[in-house]
Structure 1
Amino acid sequence: MENENINDVAEQELRKLEYRVGELIQTVERLKQENRMLREQNETLTVDRASLVEKNELARTKVEAIITRLRSMEDAVA
């Protein structure tokens, strides 16, 4: 009788452990997928940022050229 109780308790503990291991496996898979998505998002944002930096630099260069021309025109008038 006591052996049966010990076996029942051991079996219950084993089921609990199996359940927890299953939960951990699901969590690991979810985190892997989330990590993969975040890496892809990070790559996209990095590319977007590089493009914006390039556009900003081009705009700055154009504005500086316009300012230089305006100063030249101002000097010519004065």
Structure 2
Amino acid sequence: MNAIHHSAEADRTLRDLETRIEALARACDRLRNENNMLRQQNEQLLTERSILTERGEQARIKVESMINRLKSMEQAV
């Protein structure tokens, strides 16, 4: 009877361990998916930042050009 008790306890322990391992595997999958999503978002944000930086630079150049034209018109008067 004692061997049967140990066997049942070992089976229970193995089932508990299996349940925990399955939960960890699901958590790993969820975290892997979340990590991939965050990497994609990061790439999109970096691309958007690059575009906005370039637009800002173009706007700065245009404003500087307008200022220089206004100064030259002012000097011509």
TM-score normalised by L of structure 2: 0.93
Separation (CA, whole Å) in 2 of partners of 1:12 and 1:74: 91
What is the root-mean-square deviation of aligned Cα atoms in Å? 0.9
**What is residue 28 of structure 1 aligned with on the other side?**
28
Which consecutive residues of structure 2, in runs of 5 or more, have no partner in the other structure?
none
Alpha-carbon offset, residue 76 of structure 1: 2.0
Alpha-carbon offset, residue 70 of structure 1: 1.3
Which consecutive residues of structure 1, in runs of 5 or more, have no partner in the other structure?
none
Separation (CA, whole Å) in 2 of partners of 1:70 and 1:23: 69
For 1:1-78, list aligned pairs within 5 A. 1-77=1-77
Deviations 1:52-72 (A, max 9, x none): 011000000000001111111
Number of residues paired by the alignment?
A: 77
Dislocated runs of 4+, deviation >3 Å: none
Aligned residue identity for 1:5: H
TM-score normalised by L of structure 1: 0.92
Instruction: Quote the sequence identity (%).
Output: 47
Deviations 1:23-67 (A, max 9, x none): 000001101111111111111111111110110000000000011
Query: Per the alignment, in what secondary structure is the counterpart of residue 43 of structure 1?
Result: helix
